[in-house]
A = this chain, B = another copy of it.
């Protein structure tokens, strides 16, 4: 690290400002600081995300900096690709392949990690003003003690710095989990998953800290390319044949029970539209039988998927798993990119989403059920004030999901509170979820949400619309209690109340 001291003296060392993302007006900022002070050290309750349980089970060191920060992060790679044909583009970056994403077919060489890292550092100015930059700053400075900002000039120094850090035991996944103050982490898992990582963690005494989430999208979508394979694997995991619609439902029920036994709190459902219209059981059985014969139209697959959302709601009302829905994203907008590089490459685009008609069948049937809970996410922010706040503001079962994906950024999160609170209050929102596969960004995301909520609450106090003590209590609700309450244990009939927060330095 001799080179480091030459470029980064203490004076110009990269630091994070303690008031970052708090409101600018001095009076409001002072209130925001006080409110944020009550939440900044609270444990993290991360109830929706995409960290792999195996990562924590194995507790192996993370890979190289490119693999940790760049290649799998579609928030980031998309921004670098978006300027590929512009003078501001990073030389050498034409597509995600140039950032390390392997081609789905063919055997083109992927660039070396150091080269990917250089490209990211060169493109750093393209991230100005984005949430991605905010998270990266937090992770690089706070977690990895990075001495200087990324740039073409500092790329190699930072790469070496990170490689050195990653080799230390303090940077192993479990050590970071402890350091991040994560109390509970939910993963996302296929119905067929044997949940081996979770079992291993349980054997190590981590069973209460990392729990799975049941995500059945592939097995309820009759025309999905992997439907049959995933269905067979799921049936096998359930020790059943799924030769009939009735057996299919039983397979899902058993797998849900296995997830509950492994500590799961929730299911998760992504789809393009919101329809939850149930079919007659005979019609559903007919569509299922046809699908087994390989005869399914898109319209039939749509109808069956909507029907299965209704059935999943029914099962949730029975087994107590919270039902998360996040509709309204057109996946793989550029099908040539999907063919070349697979899904989840930054080409998923929101569309207008109708929650009012779509969710009506489920809400009419289960919206007042004492054991049913639905959390509805959106990336169409017009739905917050028009649809989701009015719906969650009356149906006991429904909560508005935290701003998600494109919307978990400082201004978007502020707009979320401004759009939802006046109609639905605070308790009908889910509490923050980070939804990330970037493990090292978890503290940054929760911290930013706490700061943004503190800023919103501080304004209410400054405008005499809320008392300060109420604001502090509400901040703790949003940061800690509501995630617990929104995702209670399925056995909540027996144990309805969440644990109390245990601030370390409140």
Contact = CB atoms under 8 A, between A and B. Distances in A.
Contacts of A426: 128-129
Given A409-B423, A423-B409, A463-B410, A370 B85 contact: yes
A421 B356 contact: no
A418 B407 CA distance: 11
Nearest to A328: B386
Interface in A430-468: 459-460, 462-466
A459 B127 CA distance: 17
Given A85-B396, A131-B422, A330-B356, A412 B427 contact: no
B94 A395 contact: no
A83 B396 contact: yes
A24 to B, nearest CB: 4
Interface string A355-385: 0110010011001111111000001111001
Contact of A485 (B79, B87, B393): B87
A25 interface: yes
A418 B411 contact: yes
What are the 9 tightest A-B residue pairs by CB atom distance, in nearest-first order?
A409-B422, A24-B462, A17-B464, A20-B464, A129-B421, A84-B396, A78-B394, A85-B396, A411-B418
A106 interface: no
Contact of A466 (B129, B346, B348, B418): B129
Interface stretch (A160-168, A175-183, A331-339): A331-339
A111 interface: no
A155 interface: no
Given A82-B393, A348-B390, A352-B382, 8 more contacts: A19-B463, A21-B463, A82-B427, A126-B425, A129-B465, A129-B474, A131-B423, A380-B382
A342 interface: no
Contact of A428 (B83, B370, B460, B474): B83
A387 interface: yes
A460 B128 CA distance: 10
Contact of A412 (B126, B350, B371, B385): B385
A379 B386 contact: yes
A25 to B, nearest CB: 5
Contacts of A89: 396
A195 B130 CA distance: 43
Given A87-B485, A130-B422, A352 B349 contact: no
Contact of A24 (B335, B407, B424, B463): B463
A419 B424 CA distance: 22
B427 A391 contact: no
24 contacts: A19-B464, A20-B464, A22-B463, A82-B393, A82-B394, A82-B395, A82-B396, A82-B424, A85-B368, A88-B485, A89-B396, A94-B368, A129-B474, A130-B422, A333-B360, A346-B393, A349-B387, A349-B391, A350-B387, A351-B357, A385-B406, A406-B422, A406-B423, A411-B421
A130 B423 contact: yes
Nearest to A484: B87
Nearest to A389: B406
